Amino acid sequence: MFVRYLFPVLGAAFLSGGAAATALESSIRPVARPAATQAATPTPQVTLVAVSTKSLRPKLRPEALSDGTGDTQVTRVSNPAFDNWVRSFRGRALSRGIRAQVFDAAFQGINYNADVVSKDRNQAEFKRQIWDYLDSAASPERVSMGQRALRRHRRALNRIERAYGVEAEVVTAVWGLESKYGTRMGDIPVIEALSTLAFDGRRGAFFEKQLMAALKILQNGDTTPRNFTGSWAGAMGHTQFIPTSYEAYAVDFTGDGRRDIWSDDPSDALASTAAYLKRFGWRKGMPWGVEVRVPNGARFGNTKRMPSQWAAQGVVGVDGRPVRDYGSARILQPAGPAGASFMVFSNFDVIKRYNNADAYAIGVGHLSDRIKGGPAIQASWPRGYTPVSFEERKEIQRRLKRMGYPLEKIDGIIGPNTAKSIMGFQQSAGMKVDGYASREVLNRLRSR
């Protein structure tokens, strides 16, 4: 979840000047991938086992299961070197205060997970632009789901807002981007994911630290090994904490003695998110940012000024009026001067402490505005192709699936699986192969 771990979790690079990013079909968190030397991994003795992990996942609310996803198939392999590593790690864990029975229960049935390593190695494969990312981050479906979630949990969110001073819509938006309001929290055993990555060695020390923290979570009784599930990289619960961030910032908001961020009741997870944002300086009443109009040819750098000072230089809201003096702000143009411009305040940087990507912070902020009833981004983007609507993106997915392309979900989100299918179709149709859900692709599909 947090930028505190500054490693590739579920996305790829998003630079403030408009670089590409991985579009995701589950959580949509873009995180910059550091340069890393691929560590040599002992060749495993492979025995493939297809394992259904649905039973390992906390039961979701029935209304959350609207995307039609089924069991997750996980490729586990027999790997003697991994088994030896676990035995060695057991000694280190026990010397750090982990009880033997806790360790043994945590590792019961745990194997080397080849899918986890594959995802770690290949997460930068599909690149998407800022507008594609925001199309998904604030899609009509995600906005309507967020409004329903806000109404359903209004009492808890109001209490959280009073306790931590973070607006309910902002907390809800983080929830929406991290796990689509609890519907996609990940169903891979956290211990298996983290131990696989710690053994694999690309960032072994980091993941071993996370694994040790995960064992402490189990030892403290906050959850059980059966319910201790998350993403392939160990991010957990409704708002996708990693274990060390959980240790530092998770709270027991319900007062039941456990910091249960996996529960059907998301209160602990949402309060933990608010506690984190407050810890890094969230200011209630200050917007994350405001879409603005800027003079043609203006260049801004990283200069900060009060909105009234920006107004004197011709930078005004999309309504043509000066932005209120909420505090000092800078001008951000994530796609360059040809795209949308935003006046961003200190709360924007607080969101980036949760995930250090401009696109993510814009996504959270804009989704929170839309949940509150605000408008879509008004400026056009330099897409380079003719865009389609949310419903038309779903039509593209339906038509591709009918043609035999391996799409599991018809959700209007153009993530890696959909992009790969579009590229396959484009290649077969003699089109430019770029993976974009464009009007041209839709028209060609309709003609088939």
Show the tokens assigned to 238: 């409704």
Burial class (CB in 10 A: 0-12, 13-18, 19+), 4: middle
Neighbours of 56 (CB within 10 A): 20
Mutual orientation of helices 190-200 and 80-95 as an angle, nearest 10°? 100
Residues near 38 by beta carbon (within 8 Å), at least 6 away in sequence: 121, 202
Active site residue 391: no
CA distance 432 to 174: 35
In this structure, what token pair is assigned to residue 306? 């009060």
Q: Select which of 25, 141, 167, 178 is catalytic.
A: 178
CA distance 440 to 446: 10
Q: What is the DSSP string of 67-102?
A: S---PPEEEEE--HHHHHHHHHHHHHHHHTT--HHH
Largest CA distance in the chain: 68
Residue 49: enclosing H or E segment and its boundaries? Answer: strand 49-52
Active site residues: 178
